[in-house]
Structures are given as C-alpha cells and as structure tokens.
Chain A
C-alpha cells in the first residue's frame, strides 16, 4: 500500500473538515458594536461577509493554475463539487426527517428532477433553443401563482378532504403547465426575432450571458422540484411515518422509471432515456457550488432558528401537543417537505452541470439511500453533523478509498462499496445516534433564548 497517498488523502479529509468548521466559526463571529462618526455600527456582519469571501477565495486560489500547476487538481475539485451538492441534498433531507420527523425516501427523486430539468434547459440553450428556459420559467411561475391562488381560495374552506384539495391543486398545476407549453408555442413566433428559433439563438438571447442562463436554470429547476414535492406531499404527508416512507420510496421509483423512458413516454428526446443524457455544458464552478451551498446552509439555519423552526421541531416531538398549541401541523410538514425538496432540486441542478452526463442509473433508489445514511451518520437534527458527514463521505468514499484501492489493483475500487456498509454497521452498533448527535458548531449553534433561564427579570425560575 502506498503510504504517501494514504497520508495525503487523510490530510485532505482533515483539511476540508477544518475548513468547514473555520467557515462556520467566521460566520458566527459576534463583535461589540463600535461607534463611527456618532453612529453605533455592528462590525460583525462585515466580518462575517469578509470571512465568507476569504473562505471562498482560499479554495479558489488553490484551484487556480499557476504555470499549469494548481494545488488542487481536477479530481479534488470534482470531489468538492460533489460534496457541495451532497450537502444540499442531505440538508434538505435533514430538514424533512431530522428536524420534522417525516421519514422520507424520496429525496433522491427530487434531486433527479432538479438535475434533469436544469440540464434540459442549458442543453437546449447551448444547442440554440431558448424555449426550454422560457417554458420552464413560465411554467414554474404560472404553477406557483396557481398554487397560491388555490391556496388562498381553499384557506376559506374548512373540513376539506385532503384528496379533494390535492385534485384541485393537480388540475390547477396541469392547467398551468399546459398554458406554459402553449404560450411557448404561440408566443414563440412573435419573439423569434428576439429570442431566436428552436435552431439558433436570436440577438436578445445571444446577449444573455451563459452564466445568467445557468443561474436561472438552477433556480427554476429547484422551484420546479419544490412544486412537484408540494403536489406529491399534500396527500401523502397525511399518512403515518412508515407509510409515508414507503410512498416516497414509490415516488422515487416512479421518477426513475420516467427517466428511463424519458425519450419514449415523455416527450424529451434529448434526454435519451436509459442511454443517458450527454453534452450538458459543464458550467459548475467553485463559485456556483460554494454560493448555493452557503445559501442553502444560511437559509436552513435561519429557518431552524425562527419561530417556524420551533414549530417544525415541535411537530417532530409530539404532533398532538403541537396541534393543541395552535400549530398548523399539516402545513408545517408540507412546508418542510417543500423546502427540503427545493434544496434537493438545486443540488441536483448544480451536480448535473458538474458531471456533464446524466444517466438514470445515478438516480436509482439504491443510490438514493446515500443522503439518508449521511444524515444518520452525522446525527439527525444536526446541521453541522450533516455537512461534516457529507464532505467526509465524499472525500472518504470517492476520494481516499478510490485512490488507495486503485493503487492496489484496477478492480479493487469496487471493494469500497463492500467496506462502507461494514463501516455503517459498526457505527450503528457503536453509536446509534450518529457521530455528532444534535451538537451544533459556530453560527449554526442555535441562539434561541432558553425559556427557563434563571436570573432574568421575567424568566421562570427552574423547578
């Protein structure tokens, strides 16, 4: 065995985890307010932003080539991108399962939806067809509006059966999608001089930088995954915990089957069904991966720390008690499910543009257990644990084991999938609560004021 490779990959794992903890620490720095020109200013926000930029810059520097040599090679950058996307997916699942207690196996399906939706848009754009973006954007916006309108309408009704409201939402969304497709077809001739035909881009489309198209594609794909999860979650979340898990497993298998048949049953010949979609532009850079990961982490941390987060946690602890405290249990479940799927969709979109090739095999439900394993590894209900486990998982399994086993013999890397279930078994037997339990670090640490704090004026004294 090559000792230097092993030490080097171990150092990489330690370094990347130290880097993450440093990032969380910098984001959580709190300083005293200082007085500048007679105004009290809070310097900690500036420190946080500068810290994040510096953290971004460190890796960016390490990735930049100087005289054809960079500290981190393509393999390492690939690991980083994979880890970032895995973090987003796993954090979404942790919101659904770890914080809200809904056992979901469908996260990988939403990941796949986001990946394929975004990849289709940019693939079409690169091949001179701007309608993918128009139709997806229009569909997503119309669908969102319709869902909001129906929600507004239904909020006045009581005792509405779940199935009925689901049917209304379903009809509304299908209507919105159809309108988006037909509008794309009807309006397209009028906009042809601007946006171009399905074969070449027009002047307006050509003027749009690829990076903006990419950004829009990611956002739209994420919202699309969220809307699908809304429709699916509305009836299914009313089932019990295990049954919900089974139904979501069924969902991810349905999505997988649709992906395999995307060129025959679904009208997307460019996805090429089971053969896999090639030629997706590789647009993901460290900037996008880091940006979206940081956004997901910050948004999720803010949700958990808000009153919404407390209602999410209370639903996990005891649904009946939460309901009697006036919490909308069904609404809270649905919200965490939709937000988790939004994160998964964004993660999938970023992943698709890193790998450049999408095959339905990558979205099989067997692979779909990975986020679940990661959140259990890191500790359910711990964001720090999830991020650590996601990075550690990718760097250990795809990085270290692949490199070390690859040195032994060309077939040896397949052994890593034999080793990791064993690690999983050992961890579960030794520490069933996961590596970190519910511990948080840095800015992820919850700063919610404890209700039973003694010594405050109106605080309740401990019993």
Chain B
C-alpha cells in the first residue's frame, strides 16, 4: 500500500516566488553598482585623472571601431567570423612601416619637388602611405576571400571557420619567420611628429623633455586625427550602405543570398567588395594604431582584432552603428580597468563584460533577434 501511495504522490512543483526569480538580477545589479561606485569615487577624487582615462579610452575605442567595421560587415553578409581580419590589420601597420622606414614615402613631395611646403608635404605623404597600406590590404583580403572562402560558400559553416583560422595562422606564422617580419618588437617611425597639448587653465603646448604639470589633461594630435578619421569613415559607410547601389546590393545579399542572385545582383563580387571595404578600414586602423602606440610586431593584430570582434558582438553583430558603440564601450572599459582596477587584468575584464552583456541581451545592443533556423 505504501508503495502505491508513493507513486500517486505528485512531485512538489513550486513556482519560484519573486525573490528567487530576482536573485540573478540582484547579482547583476550588485556588479553594476560596484563598477559605478569605483568610477564615481574616482571621478570625485581626481577628476582630471578620470578625464585622462576617458581620453585614453576614446583613442583605443576609435581604433577598435575601425577594425570592428570589417568584422561586423563580413559577419553580416556571409555569417563568417573572419579571424584573418586582425592579421590584415597587422599587415597594414607593417606596410606603412616599410613605406616610411625604407622608402621615406611620408616625405615624397619634398623629395620630388624641393622647396615644397614641409607641412603640406608631410600631410600628402602620410595620406599616400595610408592609401598604399589600404590598397595592399584590400588586395590581400580579396585574394584571401577568393582563394580560401569562396570555394567553401556552400560547405558547412565550420569548414569556412576553420579555413579562416588557417589563413590567420598562415599570416601569423609566415610573418614570424626571421626574414619576413620576425617575432621582435620593432620601433615604428612615425610619418609625422606627435604634438601634445595639456589642458590646465587653458590649452598649452607640451615641450619636449618637460612633463606637463600635475592635474593636467593631455591630448595629442594623433587622438584628434583618429577621432576625425573614424567619424568620417562612419559617415562614408552610412552613406555607402544606405544611399548607393552597391550598398543596397550588400544589404540585399546579407538578407537573402539566393533571392538577390535572382534579382540580378552579382553576389560574389558584392561579398568581395565587403571584404575589401573591411580590409581598407583595418589598414587605416593599423596605421593609426601604429602611430599612436609606436611599437609593432607580427602578433600585434591578435588582441586588437579579438577585442574589435568582441566590440562588434557587443554592439550587435551585423550592425554598423552597433560596432561603433560597442568599440567605444570596449575602449572605455579597457582604459577604466587599467586605470582603476588592474592593468594586467584588462583583457579578463573586457571579456567578462562581453559575457555579461551576452547574458543580458544575447544579440548585442543594436542586434536584431536571430531569424528562425532554415
């Protein structure tokens, strides 16, 4: 009899009361409050230091934004995590290094026409260097796309992903060979001089060898160039994607490949174009990154590339404004972590933020919900 009554006994099903359901949210809120507490305490303690950290974070974030564009566009259109993108970024930096160090390309107007205005010569020369890096990176990216990714367009997605990892490894390990780029840190010769100003009772120039006074916030011309370049790129890309024919083709291809092929869109060339655009901005980012942090090496693209990718995921992968916002968040998170918590832990914190954001909103800040599985 006892066994029968045991079988008849229904399992106790308790719907969690509001407290149990809220535990997870309370946990997240505590983490958020802790972060806010650290930031606010430091903001009131030393406001100028806080402003300096924000500026450092902006510089990083805008460079990440340039790289993240390539990730987000490529993922949006072919659903591929292009691991080789960080290495394209590295190649861009190295091309500009060779152009400046070996060939003096940053001063070519002065060499060709003696008596040219030096400032104008530097400006034209730097732009030429960046353009050269962009062209070479575009060629590289389109070659990679044609050789490695295009034959696998109908294969399982993992095959393309493994190929991307293979291409990335190939570029890295080939670059690590002694006669290519070698594994050393190489001091990077900037194409133009860095001018730094400090802000304390007005804007003053920082003179060489004299440290800016306590409580001053410093900004450099590189920061301004990076910000302007990134904003221009954003505007250009918005225009390209929204207003031009190729932009409409890109959006159509990312939405539905077979249908857009039926509509007369050359899907393969649109995809190649996407890779090319991403590589061009990665090259621009690479040159600016090398100018801002003047020490380059073969594996320099790995972590910035990864963080830019994380930024793209944070903002909602496939969304261009999302990549921009995500990159700014990543830059601030990194600068604040190295400023106030612990410098060596900044990568760990950056990726913890990623995991937390994914848990709260799995498709990222600007992301759209995933389509139903085909």
Contacts and interface: CB of A to CB of B under 8 A. Distances in A.
Contact of B310 (A160, A165, A250, A417): A250
B163 interface: yes
Contacts of A245: 81
A421 B168 CA distance: 8
A380 interface: yes
A158 interface: yes
B144 to A, nearest CB: 10
B40 interface: no
B306 A432 contact: no
B151 interface: yes
B236 to A, nearest CB: 28
Given A240-B362, A243-B362, A163 B25 contact: yes
Given A156-B14, A160-B20, A432-B156, A250 B362 contact: no
Contact of A163 (B12, B27, B170, B309): B27
Q: Is the contact region of chain A dominated by helix, strand, or loop, or is it mixed?
A: helix
Interface stretch (B49-57, B226-234, B251-259, B349-357): B349-357
Contact of A254 (B23, B79, B166, B351): B351
Given A156-B14, A366-B302, A429-B152, A265 B345 contact: yes
Given A167-B27, A236-B359, A421-B170, A265 B344 contact: yes
A251 B162 CA distance: 20
Interface in A21-55: none
A160 B21 contact: yes
Given A164-B21, A254-B348, A257-B348, A433 B358 contact: no
A164 B16 contact: yes
Interface in A95-141: 103
B41 interface: no
Contact of A421 (B25, B169, B363): B169
Contacts of B178: 411
B364 to A, nearest CB: 9
B165 A247 contact: no
Nearest to B176: A414
B313 A243 contact: yes
B8 interface: no
Given A240-B362, A247-B354, A253-B351, A421 B20 contact: no
Contacts of B28: 163
A14 interface: no
A429 B173 CA distance: 21
B359 A235 contact: yes
B166 A428 contact: yes
A411 B20 CA distance: 61
A236 B23 contact: no
A425 B163 contact: yes
A163 B23 CA distance: 8
Interface stretch (A57-65, A325-333, A340-348, A368-376): A368-376
Interface string A143-166: 000000000000011111111111
29 contacts: A157-B13, A157-B14, A157-B16, A160-B21, A161-B21, A162-B24, A163-B25, A163-B27, A167-B27, A235-B359, A239-B359, A242-B79, A246-B354, A247-B354, A247-B355, A250-B354, A250-B355, A251-B351, A253-B348, A256-B347, A261-B344, A366-B169, A373-B166, A376-B162, A380-B158, A411-B178, A414-B176, A414-B177, A432-B159
For the complex of A and B, the 6 pairs showing the least CB-CB separation, nearest first, are A163-B24, A250-B351, A432-B159, A417-B173, A421-B170, A164-B24
Given A158-B15, A257-B344, 13 more contacts: A164-B20, A167-B23, A243-B313, A246-B310, A253-B306, A253-B347, A253-B351, A257-B345, A260-B344, A418-B170, A418-B173, A425-B148, A425-B166
Interface of B: 11-16, 20-28, 79, 81, 148, 151-152, 155-156, 158-160, 162-163, 165-167, 169-170, 172-174, 176-178, 302, 306, 309-310, 313, 342, 344-345, 347-348, 351-352, 354-355, 358-359, 362-363, 370
